[in-house]
Amino acid sequence: MEAKKDEIRFGMVAVEKGFVTSDNVIQALQIQVRENLSTGMHRYIGMILHDQGLITRSQIDEILQALEKSN
């Protein structure tokens, strides 16, 4: 359950920073759930958004740093 909370927060920070839209995050969550159910594979939201070309690796790092500071 903790990972899900972090992923939701990841998406919220990504939207707050203007890197992606809330629709992008919702779509990434849907992809994550479909993959979990069909293959058992779990990809983090950030990696899904990156693989879609929506955020860069440096933006992922910036979001993770912001999350780390908020803990």
Q: What is the pLDDT of residue 29?
A: 93
Number of C-beta neighbours around residue 17 at 10 A: 13
Phi/psi of residue 35, nearest 5 degrees: -65, -40
pTM to 2 decimal places: 0.84
Q: What is the pLDDT of residue 54?
A: 98
Q: What are the domain boundaries of the chain?
A: 2-66
Helix ranges restricted to H, the chain: 2-16, 22-39, 45-51, 57-70
Digit-coded pLDDT (tens) for 7-58: 669 999 999 999 999 999 999 999 999 999 999 988 999 999 999 999 999 9
